[in-house]
Amino acid sequence: MEANSASRPRHLMDPHVFTSNFNNGIKCRKTYLCYEVERLDNGTWVKMDQHRGFIHNQAKNLFCGFYGRHAELCFLDLVPSLQLDLAQTYRVTWFISWSPCFSWGCAEQVRAFLQENTHVRLRLFAARIYDYDPLYKEALQMLRGAGAQVSIMTYDEFKHCWDTFVDHQGRHFLPWVRLEEYSQALSGRLQAILQNQGN
C-alpha cells in the first residue's frame, strides 16, 4: 500500500508539530516517526542524507473504508523506494513519538521485516510507551527479540531530532519542563519490560 501524500516523507517538520507530538510529558493521538539510514562502510556508519525524513500515521476514514495505517507500517511501505543493496549492511534509526503496538500488528510486521532483511539493523528510540495497547509489553519484547535496539528518547535524541528534522530556523532546542524526569521514568519501565522477556 502506498503512503498517501499526508504521510509521505517531508524534509523538515514544523517546530510546534514536533514539540506537541514528541513532548514525553503529554499524551497526543498522532504518531510521528523520524528516520535516518546509515550504511556500514569499513566499520563506520555513514549517514545517507537522501534517506532521512519523517512520516506520521494515517488516520482512519471509515466513510472511504480506510482503517488507517500506523507510522511504522508507513515506513515499511517506503522501504522499496530506498533501494537498499542486499550486499550492504544498513542501520535504520527511528525516533518515534509512541512505541509500536501489538494489537494492530505493527510489532509483528516490523519483526517479519527484520527477519526477511538481515542486512538491515533497527534502532528505535521512543518518546513514550504505547500502553493504550493491552499487549504493549509483548510488542516491545517482540521487537527486542527480533534484534531491534529499543530505547527511550532522552534529551540527546530530542535535540538531535530538533536539529535534524525540524524547521527550527536557527533556534536552539529548548527542553520542556521535566523532560529528563519523564525520560528516566520511561526508561525504567522499558528496562523492566525487557528484563522480564520470556518470564
**Residues annotated as part of the active site:** 72
CA–CA gap between residue 21 and residue 27 (Å, rounded): 8
> For the CA atoms of the chain, what is the radius of gyration?
16
- CA dist 136 and 46 (Å) reads 33
Residues in the chain: 199
Q: Grid coordinates representing 77?
A: 511501505
The 3 state secondary structure assigned to 134-169 is CCHHHHHHHHHHCCCEEEECCHHHHHHHHHHHECCC
Residue type, 20: S
Dist CA 114 CA 133 (whole Å): 22
Which residue, 65, 145, 135, is CA-closest to 100? Answer: 135
C-alpha grid cell, residue 16: 510546534
